[in-house]
Structure 1
Amino acid sequence: MERSRIKARLNILYTFLHLLRSSSLPRSQISAMSTTGSLLLLAFLSYLTILTAQASVFSYTYCFNQKGNYTNSSMYQTNLDIVLSGLTSNTQIDYGFYNLSHGGQNPDGVSAIGLCRGDVKPNECRSCLKNASILVPNKCPNKKEAMGGYNECVLHYYSLGALESNTPICMKNVNNATDVDKFNQVVSDLLYKLREKAAAGDSLRKYAAANETGPDFLTIFGAVQCTPDLSQQDCSDCLVRATSEIPNCCSTKIGCRIIMPRCNVRFEIGRFFDPVPEDSPSPSPRFSTPTSASGGKSNESRSVIVIVVPIVVAILMLIAAVFIYFRKRKHKETSQPDEADQLDDEIKPTESLQLDFDTIRLATDNFSDANKLGQGGFGPVYKGKLYNGEDIAVKRLSMNSGQGDIEFKNEVILVAKLQHRNLVRLLGFCLERRERLLVYEFLPNKSLDYLLFDPTQRAQLDWEIRYKIIVGIARGLLYLHEDSRLRIIHRDLKTSNILLDEELNPKISDFGMARLFVVDQTQSNTSRIVGTYGYMAPEYLMQGQFSMKSDVFSFGVLVLEIISGKKNSATFHGENSHDCLISFAWKNWREGAASNIIDPVLSNGSRDEIMRCIHIGLLCVQENAADRPTMASISLMLSSHSLSLPLPSQPPFLTNNISLSEINSREYNSSEATRSSERRSNNSVEASKNEVSFTELYPR
Structure 2
Amino acid sequence: MLGCYLALAAAAVIMLLPLAAAQPTPWRESTCASSTYAANSTYQANLGLLAAALPANVSATPAGFATATVGVVPDLISALALCRGDANASTCRACVAAGFPGAQRECPNSKDVTIYQDDCVLRFSDQRFLDFVGANSPVSVTTVDPENLTVSAAWFTAATVALMNATVDHAVTARGNSTKKYFATGEENFDATHYPMIYGLAQCVPEMTAAQCRSCLSGFIAAMPWWLKGMPRGRVLGIWCNLRYSVNPFYTGSAMVKVSAPPAPAPATVPSIATTEGTGRKGRVAGISAGVACFAVMILILTVCTVIRLKRRKANKRDNAFNRMARGKCTIYEFPTLKEATGNFSEKNKLGEGGFGTVYKGNLPDGQEIAVKKLIDSAGQGLDQIRNEVLVLAQLQHKNLVRLQGFCLHQNEMLLVYEYIKNGSLDNFLFDASRRNTLNWDQEYNIILGIAKGIMYLHEDSSVRIIHRDLKANNILLDDAMDPKIADFGLARLQEGGHTQTRTTRVVGTYGYMAPEYAIHGNVSPKIDIFSFGVLALEIVTKRKNCGSDDSDTDTVNLLSDVWTCWTKGTISEMIDQSLEGHSRIQALRCIHIGLLCVQSDPDDRPDIPSIIFMLNRDDMELQPPEQPAFFFGENSNSASPPYQQGVYMYNRSEVIFEDISKNGLTITYPYPR
Larger radius of gyration: 1
Fold-level similarity (TM above 0.5)? no
TM interval, shorter chain, is: 0.3 to 0.5
Q: TM-score, normalised by structure 1?
A: 0.43
Q: TM-score, normalised by structure 2?
A: 0.44
Structure whose residues are more often helix by fraction: 1
